[in-house]
């Protein structure tokens, strides 16, 4: 057995081998050590190899999925090795024969199909990156839904596209291109390297033609060599991991590089589109926007938010869909109620296709078909817009399949096909009979006894059972002669005579007995056969079912965005080919929601006017105090552009967005010490990307550029950046800064204007109004904000005097150093009496608490007052 183990393991060196032994998957050697640690299970030993103990651990087969999930999440790949015959079959070949075993599947992050291993509301992409000289292509698939796409790209776009896709696994050819290391490092992805043959475009063509059952790929589009190579690598890897059982894949969909808004990895992170900066979904734009009620809808929405469109027709079609649902709230509600009952058709289909399905996957298809009829009737109540009408075609015409599944399946099938019990009564007569025999064996025997008793005229005839004879017919010995003479002896075959009884059998009874005995397993066998034929019937309609799933997801997304727009009072933006960007009363959806949840102040809506001339830039230079809401304002406008091009309504009173081809954002500082980059370096790398790539359709938001270095260096960099954006990139941009010197540029550069976030000063404190209006701020109120944050009062006092000195120096043109030299040292201020800690009780307060005015004489009251006054004087000196 160990020899067999080692032989199989040698083929899967980079995976843990789950070696099936009866009811367990066992792991040995290093695999056992690694798995026991990762799964926190006991490490034992079994036998010896080369004189040393063999480490071993195991997981029960019935709960293996949970363990698999943990291992995959921890970055392992698992080869599942099953027994290919029963021990009895092995024995037939000789008493020492080892049960045949083989790997049936290699489980990797990108090739999961099990419900428990997948996140229902997210795609699980497997991607492959290929290049032929300087031409690159990215192909990706989600085998749990059948999606299959390919995109020709450039090396520069690899990072952004991968950031958008966020694949669970990415395949590259061995000895990868030098440029890829940094990209993968940036994204924190560990690619899977395949041999060069997996990427060979000639054999890829053959593989792809076979996979899609065509003689040539021309039917799906004209594909370049890198595209074919990337797609071929995907199919090759699926073949390898699924051991020849290829999943159902939709025909390759060829994407265009510029059909979607380009958003690079840093911008994606900064805008917190699908994940917040903390990494989770909570706090992201998606978490606020997602009101879908089906898993398919949720996946579609996430994909749309990740890839806002640049195709005006597409955007308008989607908007029309939302508007339609908004205008008919009652129908929309009913559609959403029906959608809530729609299971995950895509993933059910995929499991059936890979022969990993269970009866529930079939009932999932049945429920979807049932709800489709209801939804189709609801949608027909008013003339639908194009997007809805197109999708509606996919809902109908499945009566045959629905009828079949309706007739064939019980209402609530058991979890596993192998337990049987999922085929409905009345669907198959053989099955009904087998079940009848299994369940009502005794009843059938009683019926036969009655028949025989009538046929023989022996009222006392009985059918009995014992372990030696099995079922037999018994009469008293008095009937022996009659029973053993013609014509009865033709039917009744004598088996045994006892003192008083005589026993017979019949061909019919023997057959019945055999059938009763086998009925249980026969019922299971028949169900297995019926399961396969139902599965085939569903898979024959795979393309229709996939289209149905897509249509249902589309209705879900449209109606969910309509619900959101109505509930949160969002507007339909005008999206066109102009270079406008004009938002009235825009809001930040995530901050607004957070403020509402806290129940405190409400969000202050702000306008944004960035409409550019035909060939110029339009840049708003935003100054204002810390904490005033600059970052929020910057982000909210980027998110409005993004939402508008997703086809969604937007959080504003009105919005006009001329197509944005790229969004860039440099917001906030973060360092990347793991990669040896300081905060400032990260900032500069991101700024360089913007200045090198932004075109005149880009929307750029830059927050406090240059703040990570010395004041004059920072100011100079910010200055030059602003000029470059205005004169070379000619972008629409929001540029927030604390370098108030920059505001002077507004009068010098065309298309640059100043805006500021208002605050009010009151008794030395600042009150944040969060209102953005024309003009420039002259101060940052940093010291006040620091005070709010709880910096020790001595530090605040000291900071105020330093600030006053610096400002005075600036006015009087004195060197700051000379001025600061004149200031008393910090120690002078720090030696001042320690301020009472906020919340701690002062001496005076304590004394006042001790006073009981109702119990005091006027004299005592006067004395107490004098005493308090003297205390006050004590604290002041």
Ligand X SMILES: Nc1ncnc2c1ncn2[C@@H]1O[C@H](COP(=O)(O)OP(=O)(O)OP(=O)(O)O)[C@@H](O)[C@H]1O
Q: Which is nearer to ligand X, 104 or 769 (CB)?
A: 769
- 395 SS3 class: helix
Q: List C-alpha distances in Å: 52 to 16, 45, 47, 49, 561.
A: 21, 10, 8, 5, 64
Q: Which is nearer to ligand X, 509 or 590 (CB)?
A: 590
Element (H, E) at 476: strand 470-476
Is the preceding peptide bond at 487 cis, omega within 30 degrees of 0? yes
Q: State the minimum distance, in angstroms, from the CB of residue 668 to ligand X.
A: 7
* Residue 876 labeled ligand binder: no
Q: Which is nearer to ligand X, 307 or 632 (CB)?
A: 632
Q: Which is nearer to ligand X, 8 or 594 (CB)?
A: 594
Q: State the minimum distance, in angstroms, from the CB of residue 571 to ligand X.
A: 17
- 650 SS3 class: strand
Residue nearest to ligand X (CB): 629
Q: State the minimum distance, in angstroms, from the CB of residue 616 to ligand X.
A: 27
CA dist 834 and 619 (Å) reads 48
Q: What is the 3-state secondary structure (H, E, C) of 492-549?
A: CEEEEECCCEEEEECHHHHHHHHHHHHHHHHHHHHHHHHHHHHHHHHHHCHHHHHHHH
Q: State the minimum distance, in angstroms, from the CB of residue 291 to ligand X.
A: 23
Angle (deg, nearest 10), helices 312-327 and 630-646: 90
Q: State the minimum distance, in angstroms, from the CB of residue 633 to ligand X.
A: 7
CA dist 875 and 821 (Å) reads 31
DSSP labels for 31-69? HHHHHHHHHT---EEEEEETTEEEEEEEEEGGGHHHHHH
Q: State the minimum distance, in angstroms, from the CB of residue 591 to ligand X.
A: 5
* Residue 210 labeled ligand binder: no
* Residue 467 labeled ligand binder: no
For ligand X, the binding residues (CB under 6 A) are 591, 595, 603-604, 606, 626-632, 770
Q: State the minimum distance, in angstroms, from the CB of residue 770 to ligand X.
A: 3
Q: State the minimum distance, in angstroms, from the CB of residue 777 to ligand X.
A: 10
- 344 SS3 class: coil
Position of tokens 């025909």? 251
* Residue 599 labeled ligand binder: no
* Residue 626 labeled ligand binder: yes
* Residue 629 labeled ligand binder: yes
Q: Which is nearer to ligand X, 530 or 627 (CB)?
A: 627
Position of tokens 């400002």? 807
Q: State the minimum distance, in angstroms, from the CB of residue 676 to ligand X.
A: 26
Strand partners, 260: 309
Q: State the minimum distance, in angstroms, from the CB of residue 700 to ligand X.
A: 16
* Residue 528 labeled ligand binder: no
Strand partners, 55: 45
Q: Which is nearer to ligand X, 157 or 770 (CB)?
A: 770
Q: Which is nearer to ligand X, 374 or 669 (CB)?
A: 669
CA dist 181 and 196 (Å) reads 18
Strand partners, 24: 21, 60
Q: From 421, 432, 453, 324, select the one nearest 378 (Cα to Cα).
A: 324
* Residue 447 labeled ligand binder: no
From the number of C-beta atoms within 10 Å of its C-beta (0-12, 13-18, 19+), residue 376 rates as: middle
Q: Under a CB-based contact definition with an 8 Å cutoff, are residues 149 and 256 in contact?
A: no
Q: Which is nearer to ligand X, 591 or 733 (CB)?
A: 591
CA dist 194 and 208 (Å) reads 17
Q: State the minimum distance, in angstroms, from the CB of residue 232 to ligand X.
A: 48
Q: List C-alpha distances in Å: 204 to 150, 223, 242.
A: 14, 12, 17
Q: Which is nearer to ligand X, 289 or 628 (CB)?
A: 628
Q: State the minimum distance, in angstroms, from the CB of residue 422 to ligand X.
A: 54
CA dist 767 and 116 (Å) reads 51
CA dist 307 and 165 (Å) reads 9
CA dist 354 and 333 (Å) reads 36
Q: Under a CB-based contact definition with an 8 Å cutoff, are residues 658 and 618 in contact?
A: no
Q: Which is nearer to ligand X, 261 or 736 (CB)?
A: 736
Q: Which is nearer to ligand X, 391 or 772 (CB)?
A: 772
Q: Is the dihedral of CA 212, 215, 220, 226 positive or negative?
A: positive
Q: Which is nearer to ligand X, 242 or 626 (CB)?
A: 626
CA dist 624 and 456 (Å) reads 109
Q: Which is nearer to ligand X, 394 or 627 (CB)?
A: 627
Q: From 46, 169, 60, select the one nearest 106 (Cα to Cα).
A: 169
What's the Rg (C-alpha) of the chain? 38
Q: State the minimum distance, in angstroms, from the CB of residue 690 to ligand X.
A: 19
- DSSP code of residue 251: P
Q: List C-alpha distances in Å: 621 to 8, 24, 747.
A: 65, 66, 11
Binding-site positions: 624-631
Binding-site positions for ATP: 624-631
């Amino acid at each position: 057995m160990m020899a067999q183990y080692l032989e199989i393991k040698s083929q899967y060196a980079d995976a843990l081998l789950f070696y099936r032994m009866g009811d367990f998957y066992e792991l040995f050697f290093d695999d056992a050590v690694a798995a026991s640690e990762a799964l926190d299970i006991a490490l034992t030993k079994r036998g010896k190899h080369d004189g040393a103990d063999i480490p071993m651990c195991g997981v029960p087969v019935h709960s293996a999925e949970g363990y698999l999930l943990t291992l995959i999440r921890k970055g392992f790949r698992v080869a599942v090795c099953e027994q290919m015959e029963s021990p009895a079959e092995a024995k037939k070949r000789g008493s020492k024969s080892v049960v045949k075993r083989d790997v049936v599947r290699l489980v990797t992050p990108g090739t999961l199909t099990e419900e428990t291993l997948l996140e229902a509301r997210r795609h699980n992409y497997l991607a492959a990156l290929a290049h032929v000289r300087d031409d690159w292509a990215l192909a990706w698939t989600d085998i749990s839904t059948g999606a299959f796409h390919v995109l020709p790209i450039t090396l520069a776009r690899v990072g952004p596209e991968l950031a958008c896709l966020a694949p669970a696994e990415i395949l590259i050819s061995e000895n990868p291109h030098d440029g890829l290391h940094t990209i993968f490092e940036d994204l924190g992805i560990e690619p899977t390297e395949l041999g060069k043959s997996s990427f060979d475009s000639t054999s890829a063509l053959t593989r792809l033609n076979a996979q899609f059952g065509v003689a040539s790929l021309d039917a799906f589009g004209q594909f370049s060599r890198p595209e074919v190579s990337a797609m071929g690598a995907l199919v090759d890897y699926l073949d390898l991991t699924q051991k020849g059982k290829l999943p159902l894949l939709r025909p390759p969909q060829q994407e265009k590089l510029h059909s979607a808004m380009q958003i690079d990895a840093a911008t994606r992170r900064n805008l917190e589109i699908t994940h917040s900066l903390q990494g989770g979904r909570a706090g992201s734009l998606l978490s606020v926007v997602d009101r879908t009620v089906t898993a398919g809808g949720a996946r579609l929405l996430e994909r749309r938010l990740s890839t806002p469109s640049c195709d005006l027709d597409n955007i308008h079609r989607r908007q029309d869909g939302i508007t339609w649902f908004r205008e008919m709230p009652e129908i929309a509600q009913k559609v959403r109620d029906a959608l809530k009952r729609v299971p995950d058709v895509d993933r059910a289909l995929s499991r059936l296709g890979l022969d990993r399905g269970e009866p529930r996957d079939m009932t999932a298809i049945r429920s979807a078909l049932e709800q489709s009829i209801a939804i189709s009737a609801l949608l027909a109540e008013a003339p639908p817009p194009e997007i809805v009408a197109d999708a509606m075609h996919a809902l109908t015409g499945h009566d045959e399949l629905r009828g079949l599944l309706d007739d064939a399946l019980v209402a609530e099938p058991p979890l596993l096909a192998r337990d049987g019990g999922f085929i409905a009564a009345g669907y198959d007569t053989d099955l009904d009979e087998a079940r009848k025999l299994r369940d009502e064996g005794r009843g059938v025997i009683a019926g036969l006894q009655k028949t025989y008793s009538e046929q023989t005229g022996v009222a006392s005839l009985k059918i009995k059972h014992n372990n030696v004879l099995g079922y037999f017919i018994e009469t008293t010995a008095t009937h022996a002669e009659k029973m053993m003479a013609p014509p009865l002896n033709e039917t009744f075959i004598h088996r045994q005579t006892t003192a008083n009884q005589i026993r017979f059998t019949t061909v019919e009874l023997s057959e019945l007995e055999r059938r009763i005995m086998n009925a249980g397993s026969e019922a299971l066998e028949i169900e297995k056969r019926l399961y396969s034929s139902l599965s085939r019937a569903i898979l024959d309609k795979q393309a229709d079912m996939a289209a149905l799933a897509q249509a249902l997801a589309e209705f879900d997304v449209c109606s969910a965005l309509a619900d959101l727009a109505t509930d949160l009072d969002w507007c339909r933006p005008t999206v066109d080919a102009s270079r406008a960007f004009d938002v009235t009363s825009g809001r930040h959806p995530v901050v607004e929601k957070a403020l509402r949840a806290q129940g405190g102040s409400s969000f202050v809506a702000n306008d944004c006017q960035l409409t550019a001339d035909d060939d110029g830039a339009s840049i708003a230079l935003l100054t204002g105090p810390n904490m005033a809401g600059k970052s929020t304002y910057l982000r909210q406008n980027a998110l409005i552009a993004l939402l508008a091009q997703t086809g969604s309504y937007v959080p504003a009173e009105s919005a006009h967005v001329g197509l944005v081809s790229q969004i860039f954002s440099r917001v906030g500082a973060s360092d990347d010490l793991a990669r040896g980059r300081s905060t400032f370096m990260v900032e500069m790398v991101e700024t360089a990307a913007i200045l090198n790539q932004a075109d005149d359709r880009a929307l750029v938001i830059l927050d406090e550029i240059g703040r990570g270095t010395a004041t004059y260096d920072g100011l100079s960099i910010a200055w030059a950046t602003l000029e470059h954006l205005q004169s070379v990139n000619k972008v629409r941009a929001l540029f927030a800064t604390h370098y108030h010197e920059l505001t002077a540029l507004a009068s010098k550069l065309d298309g640059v204007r100043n805006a500021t976030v208002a605050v009010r000063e009151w008794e030395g404190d600042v009150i944040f109004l969060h209102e953005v209006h024309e003009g420039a701020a002259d101060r940052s109120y940093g010291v006040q904000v620091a005070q709010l944050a709880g910096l020790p009062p001595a530090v605040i006092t000291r900071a105020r005097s330093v600030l006053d000195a610096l400002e005075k120096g600036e006015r009087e043109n004195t060197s700051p150093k000379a001025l600061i030299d004149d200031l008393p040292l910090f120690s002078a201020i720090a030696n001042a009496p320690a301020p009472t800690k906020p919340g701690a009780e002062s001496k005076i307060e304590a004394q006042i608490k001790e006073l009981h005015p109702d119990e005091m004489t006027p004299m005592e009251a006067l004395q107490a007052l004098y005493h308090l006054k003297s205390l006050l004087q004590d604290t002041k000196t």
